[in-house]
Amino acid sequence: MNKAFVREPDFDGRAYCPRCGSLGTAVTSVTLEQHLKESARQQLGETAWFCGFASCEVAYFDLYERCVTTGKLRAPVYPKASDAPICACFGFTTDDIEADVAEGTPTRIRDLLKKSESPEARCQTLAADGHCCMREVQRLYMRLRQGNRTFRTSELP
103 and 136 housed in the same domain: yes
Residue 64 maps to a domain = yes
pLDDT in tens, 87-138: 999 999 999 999 999 999 999 999 999 999 999 999 999 999 999 999 999 9
Q: Are 19 and 61 contained in the same domain? A: yes
Residues written for the chain: 157
3-state class of 27 per DSSP? strand
How far is the C-alpha of 73 from the C-alpha of 40, rounded, in Å? 8
Structural domain boundaries, residue 23: 14-72
pLDDT at 156 over 90: no
The DSSP line for 40-51 is HHTTS-S-EEE-
Give me the mean pLDDT over the 40-58 stretch: 95
SS3 content of the chain, % helix, strand, coil (to 5): 35, 10, 50
Please count the structural domains in the chain.
2
pTM: 0.84
* Residue 89 located in a structural domain: no
